[in-house]
Structure 1
Amino acid sequence: MGRDPSADGAARAVSDVRVEDYVRTDGTIVIPDGITLTSFLDRNREIFGDRPSYRFLDYSHDPDGQVVELSWNGLWSRVCAVGARLQQITQPGDRVAILTPQGVDYVAAFFAAIHAGTVAVPLFAPSLAGQNERLSAVLGDAKPTVVLTTSGAAESVRKVLKTIATADRPRVIAVDALPDSVAEMFVAPTLNTDDVAYLQYTSGSTRTPAGVEITHRNVCTNVLQMILAGDLDLGVRSVSWLPLYHDMGLIMIMFPALCGSHITLMDPMAFVRRPYRWIKQLGIESAHGRTFAAAPNFAYELAAERGLPPAGEALDLTNVVTLLNGSEPVTMASNEKFTTAFAPYGLPATAIKPSYGMAEATLSVASIAPSAAARAVHLDREQLSAGRAVRVDAADPAAVEHVSCGTAIPNQWVVVTDGDGNEVAEGTIGEIWLHGNNIGNGYFGRTDETNRVFCNKLQTRLGDDSHATGVPDNAYWLATGDLGTYLGGELYLTGRSKDLIILDGANHYPTDIETTVSRSSRAVRSGYVAAFSVPGERGEQLVIVAERAAGAGRVEPGAVADAVRAAVSRLHQVRVADFRFVAAGVIPRTTSGKLARSACRSEYLAGAYDRYADPAR
C-alpha cells in the first residue's frame, strides 16, 4: 500500500499513546498539530492485526444475530482501497456522502472519505420511511462529488439522486464491490488537525438542515473530554445501536479509531424490536472489563419494559459503568425504572449519566460525575415562566421536574447568559453559551448563520462565580438556543428557545407538524396551530392547540381530533398526547403577527385551555 514516510514516524511516536500525553498538568487538553481522526488506524493495525475492530450484529436474517466483523487489518485494507478510488475522482476538500446501511461498510466508508483528504458527510441509506425528502435536501446542500454506498443499496440511492435539482449529480461507488488490491494505489495526503473532517447535519424538516463543520481537533478533543469526564479507559468496550449518521452514534465509532479495542454495532430497529439484544451484548462485553454506551431517554424506558433476560439466562452488568442518557430531555422516571429493572443483574446504581450535548459541539457538553447517581430538582412552574428557577417540594401542584446534567466536561466552558452576552447568576433562566476546542467551525456554506451562532462574545461576566473563568475576553462563544440555569453548581436545561420538539430521540420542527394539522381538516383554521412538547410520565410528549376555522362552529371536536391524530401519526410517526380545539383568536401571537408558541405552551400548562379538553384523551 502507498505510505507517507512521515506517517511511519508519527505512528511510532504514538504507539504507546496515553491520555496523559494529551493533557497538561493544569488539565488542559492539547491535540498536537498533525494528529487526525485516522492518524491511529495504521498504528492500531500494527498493534492489533487480526483482532476485531468493528463488529456488526445483523439480525435481518438471523434472530440471534449474524456477526459481520472487520479486523484491524481488514479495516485498514478497506479504508485504503476506498480512499484510493476516491483520490482518483475527487479533489481534496470535496464532500463525500455516506449512504450505506448501518454496519461495518459504513464505518470503512466514513473513515476512507476522511483518510483520502475529502470531507465525509455521514447520512443514511434511503430506506427510512418518510426521510427521503430530508435526504434530498441535505444532498442538495452539501453537493457531494461522490456518494459511497453498498451494492444492495445502490439502486435506491440512484433514485434519490434523481430528485436533486443539480447539473452535476455525484458519482455512486459501492464500497463492497471494490477489491482490496486497489489499496496499493493509495497515496497518503497531507491532513491538518484543523481541517474539516466531516459535516454533521442538524435535524431539519421545514428548512434545509445545516451542516456543522467538524474538524479533526474537534473530534479528538471531544473523545478525550468524554474519557476524562467518565473516568473511562482508553480501550473501553462499547455496544451501540445508535444510527451512525446521528452525532451520538457517530462519536461511538471514534473511540476504537483513536484508542484501539473494538465496538459492537447493531441496527436501531434491531434494538427497538428486541431491546434485550442491546442489554445482552452489554453483558457480554462487560465480562472483559469496563463498558460504556449511550442512548436517548426513551431507550432506557423501552429496555426496562421489554429488555429483561429470559428466565434462567445469565446476565452480569456489573462492569457497565457508564450509560450516557442524552439527545432528548431526560426523566428521572426512566432512569429509575431502568436502574431498578437491572439492579438484580449487577447494574451499578450510578451507571446512568444524564448528559447534555449537541452537534455543534461535536457531541458531549456536560454530564454528571462518574460517582454520582442521576438526580433532579422540582421547580415552580410559574417562576420558570418568569425566568427564575425556584425550588419547590415534589408534591407541590406547580412542581416541574428537571434532571441535572451535572457539570461541563473538561476543557468545556458553559455559561448561562441573558442572550445579549451578559452572564447571569445561578437560578436565573437564560440561553446557554459554549466555548471549547470541541466546538465546530460553523455551518457549511452559511456565513451569516455561522456568525450569528458561533461568533458571540461575552459582554460581562460574574465575579468569583463565573463559569467563564479561564476563557480569554475576546474568545468566541456558541449560542446554543437552549435555555437553562445553574443550581448548586450543576447545569439544568429548562427548554429550547429554538422551539425544536424532541420525541423518542427524533427531532421535529413545530411548523412542520402545524402544517400537517392545518391540512388534516377543513375545520382547522389554517396557520393558526401551535405544536409544542411538555413533560410527561415517559418523557416529552406532543401537544397541539388549533383554532376553529370560520363556519366550523358546529363541527364535532372528536372527529377533528381523530383526523389530526391520524395525520400526525402518518406523516411524522409521533403520537399526539393532547389536542385542544379552541375558538378563533385564542392562540397568542407576537406583535408582528407571528405564532407565539412559547406563550401558548405556558398558557396550556397554566390550564388556560382546560375547557377545550381533548374528547379523545
Structure 2
Amino acid sequence: MKLEDHLDADGNIALPSDVTITSFLDHNIALFGTDAAYRYLDYDHDLAGAAIELTWEELGVRLRAVGARLQQVTQPGDRVAILAPQGVEYVVGFFAAIQSGAIAVPLFAPELPGHAERLEAVLADALPSVVLTTSPAAADVQAFLRKLPRSRRPRVIAIDAIPDSVGATFVPARLDGGGIAYLQYTSGSTRSPAGVEITHRAVCTNVVQMIISVGLDFDIASVSWLPLFHDMGLLMIMFPALFGGQLTLMSPTAFVRRPHRWIKELAAEAKRGRTFAAAPNFAFELAAQRGLPPEGDDLDLSNVAGLINGSEPVNINSINMFNEAFGRYGLAPTAVKPSYGMAEATLFVSTTGAQDQPSATYLDRGQLGLGHAVRVAPDAPNAVPQVSCGRVARSQWAAIVDPVTEVELRDGEVGEIWLHGANIGRGYWGRARETERWFRNKLQVRLEDGSHAEGAPGNATWFRTGDMGVYLDGELYITGRIKDLVIVDGRNHYPQDIEATVATASSAVRAGFVAAFSVPAENQTREQLVIVAERAAGAGKADPAPVVEAIRAAVSRRHSLAVADVRLVAAGAIPRTTSGKLARRACRAEYQAGKL
C-alpha cells in the first residue's frame, strides 16, 4: 500500500466506500504468506519469554476455521465477545468474529482482578450469543457465565480447540464499510460502560491518520504490551492487519513486572527496520525508573520512529526522565509523541509533528480557572505546565466550543473539544438517547477567521468529548474533563493540577495515586474539596497528622483552596478503570458511601 493510494488531490484521506478490515487482511495473507504476522512473548510460562509466532498463512487458516465455526452458531450481526488472555489466539478470535459477519466485542478474561462487575455490565449490554476464549481459560469463563441468568448465557467456544479442517465450510461474509466491525466499550467510572459502534471505515481511516501524523511507514513493525480489549491496544493489532508488517505482543503484567522487556523488544525490532509503539504516560516513567538494560547490553533505539504517549494526561517530567534514560542508547529526542485520543474517535485525534520535540507551555493557574490560557514564565508562582498534544490528524476536525452556547471559541479560550471525521464512531450501542446527546451535535456558530471547523461540511454533526481544551499557536492542549472539574466558590480547578501538588507535598504520598474531587458541604450550599491519597511504599505506619498537614498547606499555598478532608489509604484503594486511569467519580462515590 502506498500513501498516495489513500489521499485525494487535496491531500485528504479518501478511502474507497467499500473498504473493510477484512479486505486488507485477505490481501496481506496472500501477499506475505510465511512471514510472521503476530508474535506473543509468553513470560508467564518462560522467564525468557518464549515466542509463539503466527505467520500470515497460519493466520488465514485459523481465521477460516474459527469464522466457519461461528457461522454455524450465529447470525450476521450477532455479537461475539472475546474473553481470552493476551496472545495470538485473542487476535484470531477478534478478526474471525468480524470476518464471519458478527460484531466483535473485545473484552477480558474474568481473571482480571477488580473488574467482574464491569464485565457483567458489558455482557448485559452487548448480549453476545457466543463467547470466544481459550482452553486454559475456559473453566474460569464458564464459572463466571454461570452467574448470569440462564436466558442470557452465551455459548462458549475455545478458539484453540477448533480444528483447521472446519475452515473448509467458511463463506466470506458480505461486509459494508459503514457497518459495525466491533463494539469498543468505554472504561466507565460510575456509569455503566457504553459500547462505541466502530465501523470498518472508521478503523481504516484512523490507522491512516496515525501513520500520516506520526510519520510512520505503512508496513512498520511494532511492540505492544497494551491490553487488547483497550482502544489503544486494539488499534495496534490493526497495523499488521491493514498494511502488513509485524506486531510483537506481551502481557501488561510482563511489562509492569520488568519494564526492560518492552525496551529490549523495541531495540530488537529496530534492528530489522523502523519500529514504533504506544503507551500511557505512566509507562514512560516506569521504564525510565526500572527499564534500563544491564551494563554492557547492546541496545540501539535509534531506529525507533515514534512512541505515542496517550490514554492519560501527559506529564513532561515523565517524558524528560524517559529521554534522559534512553537517549544514551540512541533514542531520538523527538521519538516520544504526546497525543490525544479516545474510544469514540476509534482512538487517535492528535499528536506532535514528526520532527517536534515534546515541550511544556506554562499557563497562569488563576486565568486558566477562568477559561483563559495566558502564558507565564516557568518559574512564575502561579505557573501550571501544559504539554502540547500537537496538531489534529488529517481529515479530522477538533473545535473548541462553549458547551452551553455551542459557539466556537477563539484560540486561547478554554472550552469543550468537539470532534468530526470519518474516524468517529456511529454512536453508543443500544443507547439512542445518549447517542443523540453526544454524537449528533451541531456547531451553532463558527469563527469567521481561524476556525478549526474549516473544511468540515456546514451540516456536519459533532461528537462532544466532555474534555476541556485550548488551542495555542495551532496546537491542541488538553486541560481536563468537564465532569472532573473541582468547582469551589465559583472558581474552576483542574484535579490533576491539585493532585500533582499533593504528590509533592510529602514523601509519604504515592505519586500518581491521588484523587481530588469536590463534594457538597453539609449545608448543601457550596462544594468543598476532598483529597484521597495512597500511602507510598514504606509509609504504611507513618503518623498521618504531619502528612495531612503538609497536604493542606501545599494546596492552600498553590491553589488558594481549603481542603475539607484528607484520606490516606492503602496502596490499591483508589479505584481505577480497566485501562489504569484514575476513576475520580468512582472514588468520590466510595468516599460518600463511607467506604474509604
TM-score for the superposition, normalised by structure 1: 0.83
The 1:489/1:565 distance shift into structure 2, 3 A limit, reads closer
Q: What's the secondary structure of 1:393's corresponding residue?
A: coil
TM-superposed deviation, 1:611: 8.6
State the alpha-carbon separation in 1 of the partners of residues 5 and 256 from structure 2. 40
Q: What's the secondary structure of 1:152's corresponding residue?
A: helix
Q: What's the secondary structure of 1:137's corresponding residue?
A: helix
Q: What aligned pairs does 1:186-585 form with structure 2 within 5 A after superposition?
A: 186-419=170-403, 420-499=405-484, 533=496, 534-536=498-500, 541-543=514-516
- Deviation track 1:409-429 (CA, whole Å, cap 9, x = no partner) reads 111101100013210011111
Aligned CA-pair RMSD: 2.8
Q: What aligned pairs does 1:106-125 form with structure 2 within 5 A after superposition?
A: 106-125=90-109
- Matched to 1:430, the amino acid is G
The 1:258/1:613 distance shift into structure 2, 3 A limit, reads closer
CA contact (8 A) 2:531 2:566 kept: no
Q: Does 1:141 align with 2:94?
A: no
Which of 28, 32, 36 matches 2:20?
A: 36
Does 205-214 or 78-87 show the bigger shift? 205-214
The 1:546/1:436 distance shift into structure 2, 3 A limit, reads closer
CA contact (8 A) 1:29 1:411 kept: yes
Partner of 2:152: 168
TM-superposed deviation, 1:44: 1.5
The 1:38/1:561 distance shift into structure 2, 3 A limit, reads closer
State the alpha-carbon separation in 2 of the partners of residues 486 and 532 from structure 1. 20
TM-superposed deviation, 1:438: 0.2
TM-superposed deviation, 1:404: 0.2
The 1:561/1:418 distance shift into structure 2, 3 A limit, reads closer
Partner of 2:585: none
Q: Does 1:51 align with 2:35?
A: yes
The 1:494/1:561 distance shift into structure 2, 3 A limit, reads closer
- Matched to 2:69, the amino acid is R
- Matched to 2:11, the amino acid is G
Which of 559, 563, 566 matches 1:606?
A: 559
State the alpha-carbon separation in 2 of the partners of residues 155 and 181 from structure 1. 25
State the alpha-carbon separation in 1 of the partners of residues 158 and 279 from structure 2. 30
CA contact (8 A) 1:75 1:108 kept: yes
- Matched to 1:393, the amino acid is A
- Matched to 2:419, the amino acid is L
CA contact (8 A) 1:580 1:613 kept: no
State the alpha-carbon separation in 2 of the partners of residues 603 and 384 from structure 1. 17
CA contact (8 A) 1:580 1:609 kept: no
- Deviation track 1:255-280 (CA, whole Å, cap 9, x = no partner) reads 00000111000000000000000000
Q: What's the secondary structure of 1:25's corresponding residue?
A: coil
The 1:488/1:578 distance shift into structure 2, 3 A limit, reads farther
State the alpha-carbon separation in 2 of the partners of residues 261 and 276 from structure 1. 23
State the alpha-carbon separation in 2 of the partners of residues 540 and 478 from structure 1. 30
Give ranges in structure 1 of 5+ residues lacking alignment: 1-16, 502-529, 551-559, 567-576, 584-600
State the alpha-carbon separation in 2 of the partners of residues 500 and 42 from structure 1. 47
Give the fraction of aligned pairs with identical amino acids, expressed as a percent.
55
Does 227-236 or 42-51 show the bigger shift? 42-51
Q: What's the secondary structure of 2:480's corresponding residue?
A: strand
Q: What's the secondary structure of 1:244's corresponding residue?
A: coil
The 1:609/1:38 distance shift into structure 2, 3 A limit, reads same
- Matched to 2:132, the amino acid is L
Partner of 2:141: 157
The 1:386/1:275 distance shift into structure 2, 3 A limit, reads same
The 1:207/1:257 distance shift into structure 2, 3 A limit, reads same
State the alpha-carbon separation in 2 of the partners of residues 65 and 214 from structure 1. 33
TM-superposed deviation, 1:290: 1.0
CA contact (8 A) 1:355 1:406 kept: yes
The 1:130/1:612 distance shift into structure 2, 3 A limit, reads closer
Partner of 1:14: none
TM-superposed deviation, 1:547: 8.9
TM-superposed deviation, 1:207: 2.4
CA contact (8 A) 1:416 1:431 kept: yes
State the alpha-carbon separation in 1 of the partners of residues 294 and 555 from structure 2. 45
- Matched to 1:192, the amino acid is D
- Matched to 2:31, the amino acid is I
Does 540-549 or 240-249 show the bigger shift? 540-549
State the alpha-carbon separation in 2 of the partners of residues 338 and 289 from structure 1. 22
- Deviation track 1:487-541 (CA, whole Å, cap 9, x = no partner) reads 111111111013299xxxxxxxxxxxxxxxxxxxxxxxxxxxx995435266573
TM-superposed deviation, 1:42: 2.2
State the alpha-carbon separation in 1 of the partners of residues 531 and 480 from structure 2. 27
State the alpha-carbon separation in 1 of the partners of residues 479 and 95 from structure 2. 37
Q: What's the secondary structure of 1:486's corresponding residue?
A: strand
The 1:602/1:310 distance shift into structure 2, 3 A limit, reads closer
The 1:302/1:183 distance shift into structure 2, 3 A limit, reads same
Q: What's the secondary structure of 1:339's corresponding residue?
A: helix
The 1:351/1:148 distance shift into structure 2, 3 A limit, reads same
State the alpha-carbon separation in 2 of the partners of residues 611 and 95 from structure 1. 47
- Matched to 1:368, the amino acid is T
State the alpha-carbon separation in 1 of the partners of residues 461 and 531 from structure 2. 47
Q: What's the secondary structure of 1:167's corresponding residue?
A: helix
State the alpha-carbon separation in 2 of the partners of residues 604 and 448 from structure 1. 44
CA contact (8 A) 1:389 1:427 kept: yes
State the alpha-carbon separation in 1 of the partners of residues 519 and 451 from structure 2. 43
Q: What's the secondary structure of 1:387's corresponding residue?
A: coil
- Deviation track 1:548-594 (CA, whole Å, cap 9, x = no partner) reads 999xxxxxxxxx999x859xxxxxxxxxx9869999xxxxxxxxxxx
CA contact (8 A) 1:323 1:353 kept: yes
The 1:353/1:565 distance shift into structure 2, 3 A limit, reads closer
CA contact (8 A) 1:297 1:539 kept: no
State the alpha-carbon separation in 2 of the partners of residues 117 and 548 from structure 1. 53
Does 194-203 or 164-173 show the bigger shift? 164-173
The 1:339/1:62 distance shift into structure 2, 3 A limit, reads same
Q: How many pairs are equivalent?
A: 536
Which of 88, 93, 107 matches 2:77?
A: 93
- Deviation track 1:39-60 (CA, whole Å, cap 9, x = no partner) reads 1222212221111100000001
- Matched to 1:229, the amino acid is S
